[in-house]
Amino acid sequence: MKNSKLTSPEKLARLKGKLLKQRQKQRPIITVCAGTACVACGCVPLTAAFREALKENGLEDKIEIRTTGCHGFCERGPLVVLQPEGIFYQQVKPADAKSIIEQTIQNGELVEKLLYRDPQTKQVLTHEKDIPFYSKQMRLIFGMNGHMDPTSIHDYIALGGYAALARSFLEMQPEDIIEEVKKSGLRGRGGGGFLTGKKWATCRKAPGEPKYIICNADEGDPGAFMDRSLLEGNPHAVVEGMIIGAYAIGSHDGYVYVRHEYPLAVKNLNIAIEAAREFGLLGENIFSSGFDFDIKVSRGGGAFVCGESTALMASLEGKIGEPRAKYIHTVTSGLWGKPSTLNNVETWANVPMIIEKGADEYAKVGTEGSKGTKVFALTGKVNNTGLVEVPMGMTLREIVFDIGGGIIENRPFKAVQTGGPSGGCLPESALDMPVDFDTLTEIGSMMGSGGLIVMDNLTCMVDLAKYFIHFLQEESCGKCTPCREGLRQLHHMLEKVTRGEGGVEILDDIERLCMVMENASLCALGSSAPNPVMSTLKYFRNEYLAHLEEQRCPAGVCKDLITYSVIEENCTGCVVCKRACPVDAIEGEKKEVHKINSDICTRCGICLAVCKFDAIFVE
Amino acid sequence: MTLPQAPLQNILDKHPHDESSLIMLLQDVQEAYRYLPPEILVEIAKTLNVPKAKVFGVATFYKAFSMEPRGETEIKVCCGTACHVRGSTLIMDEFKRTLGVEEGGTTEDGKFTLEAVNCVGTCAMAPVIVVKDVYHGHMTVNKLGKLLKSLNPKKAKTTGAKAS
Ligand SMILES: Cc1cc2nc3c(=O)[nH]c(=O)nc-3n(C[C@H](O)[C@H](O)[C@H](O)COP(=O)(O)O)c2cc1C
Ligand code: SF4
Ligand code: SF4
Ligand code: SF4
Ligand code: FES
Ligand code: FES
């Protein structure tokens, strides 16, 4: 099919019809997830093996192989889904390609060993949609990932892509779009949860030309990867959202600021932008409406603070990414001093759906104050690590236990951290709280970008607070004193706590310093930095006290407070640990109980990892 | 040491010569030379007509840039939150000890640079390290020794590799 410019919405609709017909002919499809995690565990040789096997069986023309973005269930990668049936194979090795083709594709038999077995019920499940990890989700934004090749604009259009854009241009005035977005209740997914429609309205009205719109793909939260997976797996949704936003706001220049470690996201995004230009969806005179808009992609320099709106804009201008005071908001004076609208990747990806479904339909999902769904990076000590999309208002318990499948090795749940470095740790008592913007803030955490890290009894909460403060200390731009010096001192004090020093009084100092930072920092990096500390102090004070009063780390993490020893009854004298210890801290003869010399031991954990008899004890 | 001029010229030709291109230019230079040689920064300042101080300011502000040559092999230890709670500190400490460098440091022989990075998107296999674009998941201090040994047999003599 020759690609020609889609000069009108009608042409788009016609193309879609044609593509759908073609798609019907081409089935079945072998979908191979090629998201980052699946690539890391070998989907590239797997895809090659499929091609080889198809060729061997003379099926190249009858069956399509589609490599897609992340399906979310990274824990079980590489994933293969056979469409149209939705047969779900997990942890597929290149050697399995042949049996899938010969058994399932040709004979309709399932390859038993590749099916998912529910760890709880032991039930073997065949279809993607039946697996609890998926069935409890609501994949409105992320669901498309599994059905398309992100580098194919045809795939996106066939699935209904750019229909919202057509609708905006055909049926709506810019003001109507803003009204619709306002009515949908959409709040920014980048952290603060600002009302998107309100932001757009202010920017549209702000005096000054040109106006800029920007997509924040800096994704600085060190434990989150949904923006990345959206850009990698469904870049057109973001592009479409941005074009609609640009039309609504009256902007002709868009930017996407992408975190520098995301080369695949940059690549797929650039392919998408190029294709959109080729089809006339970006560039001059979109849909013959006289409206022009184009997007530039800019790679970040690797600084967390550049996720902050004013710092991001400074960075786009080629400057050092330092935030400025926001007496004047960026919607009035942003990039190059012009009115600018900044939204997060996921926020932009929500826009087409709002326009297509209508605000009322969209707003049926979610809670009073938080509409729609949210994608979370569910990670840590949870069985099903991956990206999950749930309606706002689902409880943490449902996310962690129903979707996440509970804690690894059935250990006790301790806490869940939301909101990244600006967020907080929530204890078991918060598990039944609905997850939405307001509830999370109320209980001392925040939505943030959507990291959701689960912790068990082997995670030390003081160490975790120290981890975040260390991260922020490294990332503070250093412009204002409360943040720059405050973080340094805070880290210093937490370090003392992890060594069991400083006495209980140090907690007062910590709290006082947190208060100063909260109130006196110039940007939200500094003012929200105390959250990880304050929330752990609030809910896990006992752990701080154990360090300070008993010089004990209950989780067995803080190196200065733990000792490694050998459990005599369990030790078989196999000498493995002695050979492995890098500092020769272990003594013992063959077949005799070994002993660890704690003066020499550096607490590196190797002996614990190598002992096959559970004979190493940490306390 | 004289630096090859060719990549620089290509890079300069690729971008418009104004301040807003600075970061992108530096990114390309970093990629081509594996660090930002000072003489090139001076050259860039001249070409873009931006004060030298500004160029050096930007070059030292962002983590993507390095003012010293990086090692042939970059070892990236993911220290993202998910990896942290699954024990990346132990991995990092062991690398520091065996390579004899701090975070961000390069070994004396110029072979390895040890780097802490944030979430690399594969939390399902936490803790993760990335060596030459290959992801190694579910890392343990024990596996680390074997890996180092395979990369550089001489260097890794003193590690947990002994266990293998
Ligand atoms: C230190 C800091 C880091 C931030 N990092 C990000 C980020 O990585 N991605 C993001 O979308 N928003 C980030 N934000 C929030 C942005 O400043 C901004 O509020 C957001 O991009 C606006 O988009 P939204 O309304 O769609 O959420 C950060 C804010 C601060 C203070
Ligand atoms: S609060 Fe921290 S990051 Fe923000 S401007 Fe001040 S020093 Fe920079
Ligand atoms: S590895 Fe375990 S069982 Fe073997 S000697 Fe060491 S402590 Fe004993
Ligand atoms: S923790 Fe490390 S240093 Fe200590 S005894 Fe075990 S292997 Fe040796
Ligand atoms: S990368 Fe394949 S499921 Fe996430
Ligand atoms: S935190 Fe290490 S891969 Fe995500």
Instruction: Place B157 in a pLDDT band, splitting at 50, 70 and 90.
Output: very low
Q: Does A409 touch chain B (CB under 8 A)?
A: no
Strand order in the sheet with A87-89: A64-68, A29-33, A80-83, A87-89
- The atom of ligand 4 lying closest to the CA of A577 is 7
- What pLDDT does residue B154 have? 57
* Higher per-residue confidence, B116 vs B157: B116
- Return the structure tokens found at B13: 């030709």
On the CB side of B128, how many CA atoms lie within 13 Å of its CA? 25
Burial of A165 (0-12, 13-18, 19+ CB in 10 A): buried
Instruction: Place B156 in a pLDDT band, splitting at 50, 70 and 90.
Output: very low
Q: Does 3.30.420.40 match the CATH number of domain B73-163? A: no
Q: Is A479 in the pocket of ligand 2 (CB under 6 A)?
A: yes
Question: Distance between CA B78 and CA A99 in Å, rounded?
Answer: 36
- Return the structure tokens found at A47: 């895809």
Beta bridge partners of A379: A453
The closest CB to that of A580, out of B27, B85, B142, belongs to B142
Task: Determine how β-strand A253-258 pairs with β-strand A291-299.
Answer: parallel
> What residues of chain B, 95 to 154, have a C-beta less than 8 Å from chain A?
97-98, 117-126, 128, 135, 137, 140-142
Residues (pLDDT < 50) of chain A are 1
Q: How large is the angle between the packed helices A531-539 and A541-550, nearest 10 degrees?
A: 80
What values do phi and psi take at A433, rounded to 5?
Answer: -75, 145
Amino acid letter for position A424: G
Choose, out of A379, A414, A460, the residue to mutate when testing the contact with B (most B CBs < 10 Å).
A379
Question: Distance between CA A318 and CA B41 in Å, rounded?
Answer: 14
- For a mutational test of ligand 1's pocket, the pick from A230, A242, A249, A309, i.e. the residue with the most ligand atoms closer than 8 A to its C-beta, is A309
Q: Which residue has the tokens 């807003």?
A: B20
Instruction: Give yes or no for a contact between B97 and A582, defined as CB atoms under 8 angstroms apart.
Output: yes
Q: Which residue has the tokens 């920007």?
A: A214
Instruction: Give yes or no for a contact between A305 and A525, defined as CB atoms under 8 angstroms apart.
Output: yes
Atom 3 of ligand 5, nearest CA residue: A74
On the CB side of A354, how many CA atoms lie within 13 Å of its CA? 29
Mean pLDDT of chain B: 87
Q: Does B29 touch chain A (CB under 8 A)?
A: no
Got the DSSP string for A506-544?
HHHHHHHHHHHHHHH-SSHHHHHTTHHHHHHHHH-HHHH
CB < 8 Å to A381, chain B: 85-86
Q: Does A320 touch chain B (CB under 8 A)?
A: yes
- For a mutational test of ligand 4's pocket, the pick from A571, A602, A616, i.e. the residue with the most ligand atoms closer than 8 A to its C-beta, is A602
**Res B1 pLDDT > 60:** no
Q: Does 3.40.50.300 match the CATH number of domain A373-456? A: no
Q: Which residue has the tokens 């890392």?
A: B139
For B19-140, strand residue ranges (E) read: 73-78, 112-117, 129-131, 134-136
Instruction: Place B158 in a pLDDT band, splitting at 50, 70 and 90.
Output: very low
Question: Distance between CA A114 and CA A126 in Å, rounded?
Answer: 9
Which among A63, A91, A89 has a CA at the least distance from the CA of A77?
Answer: A91
Q: How far apart are the first and last CA of chain B?
A: 42
Alpha-carbon distance values, A253 to A153, A291, A296, A423 (Å): 22, 12, 8, 33
Beta bridge partners of A87: A82, A127
Q: Does 3.40.30.10 match the CATH number of domain A26-147? A: yes
Question: Distance between CA A156 and CA A19 in Å, rounded?
Answer: 10
Q: Is A581 in the pocket of ligand 3 (CB under 6 A)?
A: no
Compute, in angstroms, the gap from residue A424 CA to the centroid of ligand 6.
18
Instruction: Give yes or no for a contact between B43 and B102, defined as CB atoms under 8 angstroms apart.
Output: no
Q: How far apart are the first and last CA of chain A?
A: 67
> Which ligand places an atom closest to the C-alpha of B87?
6
What percent helix, strand, coil does chain B show, rounded to 5?
A: 50, 10, 35
Amino acid letter for position A254: G
Q: Is A146 in the pocket of ligand 5 (CB under 6 A)?
A: no
* pLDDT digits 0-9 by tens, B59-106: 999 998 999 888 889 999 999 999 999 999 999 999 998 899 999 999
Atom 13 of ligand 1, nearest CA residue: A307
Instruction: Give yes or no for a contact between A222 and A420, defined as CB atoms under 8 angstroms apart.
Output: yes
Which among A81, A95, A89 has a CA at the least distance from the CA of A53?
Answer: A95
Q: Does A417 touch chain B (CB under 8 A)?
A: yes
Amino acid letter for position A559: K
Which among A222, A217, A191 has a CA at the least distance from the CA of A471?
Answer: A222
User: How is chain A split into domains, by residue range?
Assistant: 26-147, 161-362, 373-456, 461-550, 563-618
Compute, in angstroms, the gap from residue A581 CA to the centroid of ligand 6.
27
Which among A265, A447, A451 has a CA at the least distance from the CA of A372?
Answer: A447
Q: Does A584 touch chain B (CB under 8 A)?
A: no
Q: What is the CATH number of domain A461-550?
A: 1.20.1440.230
Q: What are the b/e assignments for A340-367, b being 16+ CB within 10 Å?
A: bbbbbbbbbbbbbbbbbbebeebbebbb
> What residues of chain B, 51 to 80, have a C-beta less than 8 Å from chain A?
54, 57-58, 61-65, 79-80
Chain B closest-CA separation from residue A341 CA (Å): 19
Q: Does A225 touch chain B (CB under 8 A)?
A: yes
- What pLDDT does residue A3 have? 66
The closest CB to that of A467, out of B22, B84, B141, belongs to B84
Helix (H) or strand (E) holding A405: none
- How many CB atoms neighbour CB A555 within 10 A? 20
- What pLDDT does residue B160 have? 38
The closest CB to that of A380, out of B18, B21, B85, belongs to B85
User: How is chain B split into domains, by residue range?
Assistant: 6-61, 73-163
**Any idea which fold A563-618 has?**
Alpha-Beta Plaits (3.30.70)
> Looking at chain A, which residue has its C-alpha nearest residue B126?
A380
Average pLDDT over residues B44-73: 93
Q: Is A577 in the pocket of ligand 3 (CB under 6 A)?
A: yes
Q: Does A560 touch chain B (CB under 8 A)?
A: no
Which among A441, A423, A443 has a CA at the least distance from the CA of A431?
Answer: A443
User: Domain A161-362 is of which CATH architecture?
Assistant: 3-Layer(aba) Sandwich (3.40)
Q: How far is CA A186 from the centre of its chain?
A: 19
The closest CB to that of B58, out of A320, A417, A451, belongs to A320
Chain B closest-CA separation from residue A604 CA (Å): 6
CA angle A314, A318, A323 (to 5 degrees): 20
Compute, in angstroms, the gap from residue A603 CA to the centroid of ligand 6.
23
- The atom of ligand 6 lying closest to the CA of B80 is 1
Choose, out of A296, A604, A611, A612, the residue to mutate when testing the contact with B (most B CBs < 10 Å).
A604
Q: Does A62 touch chain B (CB under 8 A)?
A: no
ipTM field: 0.90
Instruction: Give yes or no for a contact between B102 and B62, defined as CB atoms under 8 angstroms apart.
Output: no
* Higher per-residue confidence, B1 vs A380: A380
CB < 8 Å to A301, chain B: 23, 26-27, 58, 61-65
- The atom of ligand 4 lying closest to the CA of A608 is 6
Which among A534, A533, A530, A423 has a CA at the least distance from the CA of A483?
Answer: A530
Helix (H) or strand (E) holding A426: strand A424-427
Question: Distance between CA A479 and CA A520 in Å, rounded?
Answer: 12
Alpha helices of A307-344 — where are they, by DSSP H?
309-316
Q: Does A222 touch chain B (CB under 8 A)?
A: yes
> Which ligand places an atom closest to the C-alpha of B94?
4
The closest CB to that of B23, out of A318, A381, A417, belongs to A318
- Cβ distance B124 to A75 less than 8 Å, yes or no, reads yes
Q: Which residue has the tokens 């961000």?
A: B104
- What pLDDT does residue B141 have? 86
